[in-house]
Chain A
Amino acid sequence: MDFSFTEEQELFRQAVREWCEKNLSLEKVREMDEKEEMPMDVIKGMADLGLLLMTVPEEHGGTGSDWVTACIAAEELAYADISIAVPVFFLVESSWGYVIDRYCSEEVREKYIKKAIRGEAFVGIATTEPGGGSDIASVKTTAKKEGDEWVINGEKIYISGTEEAKKMGGGYFIIARTDPKLGHRGMTAFFLPIDAPGVEITKRYDDMGRMGISTGGFVMNDVRLSDEYVLGEVNKGFYYTMEGFDLARLLIGATSVGATQRALEIGMDYTKQRILFGRPLAKFEGIQFEMADLWARNEALRSLVYRTAWMVNEKYSTGRFGPLEVSKFISAVKLLGPPLAFRTFEKAMIWLGAYGYTRECPLEMGLRGIMSYCVGAEGGLNIQRIIIARELLGREYVPYK
């Protein structure tokens, strides 16, 4: 068993870290948080570094990175941008962009994927609807074939990157009911260009965190798409959706590792310098034991994340692990990651006292940002528990059936 990264991966980590030190300082993150906008130079910089949709194969314009390397990028981006706006932008595109590219037509690839790789478009995921996000099989959006075209009607809400897609161009992986009788086996995935006639962005949510990337909603009124915009096979959309969620959740794990690490470091730096009762605060066991616990948990998470990333590589390259086995581990990553990062921000804020509660201190951005992945973005925590329990106990124990 060899736990080392390759030389290529080490150099890549170093390059991303160096780029982040220059271009994504905590001051810049604060600015992004206040302006509620991701600067184009950050997006362009990520494209130049080769980060955007890095998992897309080389022959399709990406770098064909494996999932361990993608996790390294997510970890480093979150170490720098603890508000996680930039990591969200990165991870949504690297996971859902990969799935879109895997199942899309040449037309979609040319028009959207390749542009997104250059930082000239945004591609994301839109499954959540007013009827709820967790229960994907109950999606109400419909797609009906009329002649050569699919006519799509429905509404999507709490969707990441709607403003970015509007500004830069791009679109979404969406899922729609194509055969209502068949339940989740009657759902088809499409690529929906954000500027397709009939698509209308309805709102931007006033989120509590990760302000640098928007969350919005849109309606689809008789949107007409050709077969070129169907992803993969008709009625297989549910499975592609699960594939995308898995990849996104893996990268969320890596994001959590990076953010946790940074929160710990901010806490350690401060408590070593803060003198109370005649000695550095860090000398008190009440503080240092908490640090030790959090560090240990983060190292456990880090091991799980990279081990799971390796399983994903194996799934795609050798088929050694089946999709359900991989999902079980990925759900463990998503279940443990965001709450650990949240907990670490909370603890670090407490170590910093009143200063930790101000906006002069970066920690609160971390707390607000990572909460999005606790409440449910890319799947709620209980959904992860349901997946794990299903794989442990068997399908007959799925609670909602």
Chain B
Amino acid sequence: MPFDISSLTTNDNHQSLKNSVVRALPTIIVPFKQIVDIKEIKVDPNTQTPITVGIPRKISDVDKNALEEAIKIKEKHGGKVIAITMGPSEAKTALRETLAMGVDEAYLLSDPIFENSDTLATARVLAKAIEKLGEYDLIICGEMTLDGLSAQVGPRLAELLDIPQITYVRKVTIEGNKIIAEKDLEEEYETVEAEMPVLLTVTREINEPRIPSLRDIMKASRKPINTWTASDLGISKENVGTEGSAVQILKVTVPKVERKGIIVKAETIEEAAEELVKTILKEGVLRG
């Protein structure tokens, strides 16, 4: 990997450093996913399955935080940001949006054989694309996408690429060749560091994704979007799609939420409150 300080003067991707502590021109890759807008999903009341056809698609929320963080790092330290996504050709719109946000290069990984890939197969496709892209310093993913909520693609990708990973990052700083990251462990924050290249998965708290301006959108529409198919990536059918997945999704249903319609009757507010608390305890909503 590139970021051995001694390679700086010879590597034309990176300018030489005045001060060896400051990193110059990192290459940051952001793999992201375009998902259906889960707010817009309706449920078929007969089958309890979500209706996803015709639902608008968007960049998964936390993936936008990943893109934002990459662009912020580029704005501060220079370098470039490459966005990649595996998906159908409609995902080009999402790539266009990343270009409008400030991404420099966009790649769509698209092939019918990628369909129905699980997190393992997806990570394989992404890893192949990243290898093909060449040198990089940072990979930033969202902690999870809001459709699958598996939180696995980032960690699996780091494993396949054999680089360190820091997950659930809520704050990141770069010092020389080091990444210092604050991890969200729910109960506490943990500060860790790692040498680049490293893969981060970030949480929603890390930043507020920017909204591209009309000018940014217009500029983005003049930038190319590259498409790589399975054969461009040297991927065969056994490793991706249904065949290459370890997990098969059999069915997606929406849990039925039904109201019990319990009415608490009492003379006074105090009695009503007491009755209500009793009912809640009895229903097992709270444990006393």
Q: Is the CB of B221 within 8 A of A7?
A: yes
Q: Is the CB of A11 within 8 A of B93?
A: yes
Q: Does B2 belong to the interface (CB within 8 Å)?
A: no
A113 to B214, CA, bound (A): 18
Among B92, B93, B217, B221, contact of A15 (Cβ-Cβ < 8 Å): B217
Q: Which residue of B lies closest to A21 (CB)?
A: B211
Q: Is the interface of B mostly helix, strand, loop or mixed?
A: helix
Q: Which residue of A lies closest to B100 (CB)?
A: A11
Q: Is the CB of B211 within 8 A of A11?
A: no
Residues of A within 8 A of B260 (CB): none
Given contacts A7-B93, A11-B96, contact A54 B221 (CB under 8 A): no
Q: Does B68 belong to the interface (CB within 8 Å)?
A: no
Given contacts A7-B93, A7-B96, A10-B93, contact A15 B218 (CB under 8 A): no
A7 to B217, CA, bound (A): 10
Given contacts A8-B221, A11-B100, contact A63 B212 (CB under 8 A): no
Give the distance to chain B from A49, nearest Cβ to Cβ, in Å.
5
Residues of B within 8 A of A49 (CB): 211, 213-214
Q: Is the CB of B212 within 8 A of A15?
A: yes
Residues of B within 8 A of A8 (CB): 217-218, 221
A19 to B96, CA, bound (A): 18
Q: Which of B72-110 contact A (CB under 8 A)?
A: 92-93, 96-97, 100
Q: Is the CB of A65 within 8 A of B214?
A: yes
Q: Which of A38-58 contact B (CB under 8 A)?
A: 48-51, 54
Q: Which residue of A lies closest to B92 (CB)?
A: A7
Residues of B within 8 A of A15 (CB): 100, 211-214, 217
Among B58, B92, B211, B215, contact of A63 (Cβ-Cβ < 8 Å): B215
Number of B interface residues at 8 Å Cβ cutoff, please give it: 15
A10 to B57, CA, bound (A): 12
Q: Does A18 belong to the interface (CB within 8 Å)?
A: yes
Q: Does A310 belong to the interface (CB within 8 Å)?
A: no
Given contacts A7-B93, A7-B221, A8-B221, contact A18 B214 (CB under 8 A): no
Q: Does A12 belong to the interface (CB within 8 Å)?
A: yes
Give the distance to chain B from A41, nearest Cβ to Cβ, in Å.
14
Q: Is the CB of A12 within 8 A of B93?
A: no
Q: Which of B118-142 contact A (CB under 8 A)?
A: none
A65 to B221, CA, bound (A): 14
Q: Which of B176-223 contact A (CB under 8 A)?
A: 211-215, 217-218, 220-221
Q: Which residue of A lies closest to B94 (CB)?
A: A11
Q: Is the CB of B217 within 8 A of A12?
A: yes
Question: Contact flags (1/0) for A57-68 with B, using CB distance below 8 Å?
Answer: 000000101000
Residues of A within 8 A of B211 (CB): 15, 18-19, 22, 49
Residues of B within 8 A of A51 (CB): 214
Residues of B within 8 A of A7 (CB): 92-93, 96, 221
A49 to B97, CA, bound (A): 14
Q: B interface vs A, CB < 8 Å?
A: 58, 92-93, 96-97, 100, 211-215, 217-218, 220-221
Could you list 15 A-B pairs, sorted by A, with CB under 8 Å? A7-B92, A7-B93, A7-B96, A8-B217, A11-B96, A11-B97, A11-B212, A11-B220, A15-B100, A15-B212, A48-B213, A50-B214, A50-B215, A54-B214, A69-B214
Given contact pairs A7-B92, A50-B215, A51-B214, enumerate 12 new A-B contacts (beta carbons under 8 Å). A7-B96, A8-B217, A8-B218, A11-B97, A11-B212, A11-B217, A15-B213, A15-B217, A49-B213, A49-B214, A50-B213, A69-B214
Shortest 7 CB-CB distances between A and B: which pairs?
A50-B214, A50-B213, A8-B221, A63-B214, A50-B215, A19-B211, A11-B217
